[in-house]
Copies of this chain bind each other. A is one copy, B any other.
Amino acid sequence: MIEPTRLSVSGERIRAAYEFTGPVDEARGRAEALAVEQTIEFPADLVPDDDIRGQIIGRIESLETTGERAVRVEVTYAVETTGFEFPQFLNVLFGNSSLLPDVRLVDLDIPPALAERFGGPRFGIAGLREMFDAPQRPLLSTALKPMGMAPERFARMAYDLAAGGIDMIKDDHSLANQPFAQFEERVRACSAAVRRANEETGSNSIYMPSINAPHRLLDERVEIALDAGAGGLLILPGLTGFDHMRDLAADDGVGIPIMGHPAFLGGFVSSPTGGIAHDVLFGTLMRLAGADVSIFPNFGGRFSFSREACSEISAASVRPIEGVRPMWPAAGGGMTMDRTGEMVTFYGNDIVLLIGGDLHRGESLRSSAAAFRAAIT
């Protein structure tokens, strides 16, 4: 037994819900093990009746049998266990337990003190509506691709897309710093092309380069993007870390919209009984980490997300969280122009429609973009 500990904690708690799949009568024991695993990771029988036991170990608030082999368990954690830092917040939610079989993080609520610390989107729904002078309509986005083209070709493409009225023209997430189109040259060319299109055609578009860079070069790439006049940033938190995105969103010296991309996060949603629920990952966590726009694969595309999962992501993007702005869901992944009507019916107007290769099928990229834009105005 270790010596007793007295602690001062605020009483504010994070509320997480997990679904345990397996024999229902084993759920309580598994939940108790999880509540220890996510906090002290120490034999509970060696902890005396002190504040580590009372305040630090996760507290099981409720168990509810939700299926023949499914139990939903609500666990709360003292907000101090996170040190008010985002990486440790994720660690408390699901660090080691991500390695446990058949347990899934399915819901999450954070207290206002933590929400305020994290901040969330700088622009959110209202901010981007104002930026694009689009009080009601869905926003439009597309990606510069394919990898292998030279910077001037990406720039020509960016010009045409902006002239056609696409709001957010982002790098494809595959564009990093390849020899075919190195970051600085590509970003300067594309930023200039979109600026020129805005001046010449009255469009109001932004270019969002992908900041998928080695750790030591992240700041430099952002500085290049800002210096080039990029209008936003594409961030891949599965590769560069959620807190890098949060840091950019909170930085007044950056101050431009951020689009979060799901690359390398799919492992969390590849098992129906493990990982993290789609809406928690691509809705709540992306939003708390500062994404103004969160990309996910639309149902009916090539990624097999269900209609229900997409609907839940969309709901989590905008549900009230005190101190955190609502975020734009962005449904993409093999989307075609003829599905835009269906998508707006499904998601409503607070949706970013992300169309990829299909725009290249028309007579010209600019005319396809203009047709896409006309279809939703």
Contact = CB atoms under 8 A, between A and B. Distances in A.
Interface of A: 2-3, 5, 7, 33, 37-43, 46-47, 51-52, 55-56, 80-83, 85-88, 90-92, 94-101, 143, 145-150, 153, 172-174, 176-180, 212-216, 218, 236, 238-244, 246-247, 262-271, 273-276, 297, 302-305, 333, 356-358, 360-361
Nearest to A47: B146
A88 B357 contact: no
B52 A148 contact: yes
B177 A39 contact: no
25 contacts: A2-B146, A7-B180, A37-B302, A41-B356, A42-B172, A42-B360, A43-B361, A46-B357, A52-B147, A56-B146, A56-B148, A80-B179, A83-B176, A87-B212, A87-B236, A88-B212, A88-B239, A100-B266, A101-B270, A214-B247, A215-B243, A215-B247, A239-B241, A240-B243, A267-B268
Contacts of A236: 87, 91, 95
A5 B180 CA distance: 10
A244 B215 contact: yes
Contact of A83 (B91, B177, B263): B177
Contacts of A5: 148-150
Contacts of A238: 95, 98
